[in-house]
């Protein structure tokens, strides 16, 4: 399995609080992604990164920001959590071919916003 670690695995937080999720990889892959998965919607891309300090928005980026200061770490921040951001969040990586390559996922973070 690809070396991808997400932390925390579970988190419960209150509406309005900031939350940061971490994704750490040991594969030295260029591309990293954050997805959310909700019933009835499947996996949707939030943000992705194609290198250190290079990021771009995905389909559902509102309310989220990301940072990538090192190749191995990709952080997802919810500046002010809302109940609609209750979801399962998956980080993924792909090899230097990026767009042509399959993704490999971390084991997810289950976030509940009360």
One character per residue 66-105, x = contact with another protein (rule: CB under 8 A): ------------------------x-------xxxxxxxx
Q: Which of helix, strand or coil describes residue 2?
A: coil
Q: Does 46 bind another protein (CB under 8 A)?
A: no
Among 82, 107, 112, 114, binds another protein (CB under 8 A): 107
Q: Shortest approach of another protein to residue 99 CB, angstroms?
A: 3
3-state secondary structure 60-102: CCCCEEEEEEECCEEEEEECCCCHHHCEEEEEEEECCCHHHCC
Q: From CA 58, how far away is CA 63, in angstroms rounded?
A: 12
Cβ-based neighbour number of residue 79 at 10 Å: 12
Among 34, 48, 64, 74, binds another protein (CB under 8 A): 48
Nearer to another protein, 45 or 75 (CB): 45
Q: Shortest approach of another protein to residue 74 CB, angstroms?
A: 15
């Amino acid at each position: 399995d690809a070396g991808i670690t997400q932390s925390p695995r579970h988190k419960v937080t209150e509406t309005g609080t900031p939350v940061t999720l971490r994704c750490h990889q040991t594969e030295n892959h260029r591309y990293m992604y954050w997805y959310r998965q909700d019933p009835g919607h499947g996996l949707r891309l939030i943000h992705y990164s194609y290198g250190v300090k290079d990021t771009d928005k995905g389909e559902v980026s509102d309310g989220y920001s990301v940072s990538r200061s090192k190749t191995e770490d990709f952080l997802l921040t919810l500046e002010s959590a809302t109940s609609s951001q209750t979801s399962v969040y998956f980080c993924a990586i792909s090899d230097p071919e990026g767009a042509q390559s399959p993704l490999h996922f971390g084991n997810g973070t289950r976030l509940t916003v009360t």
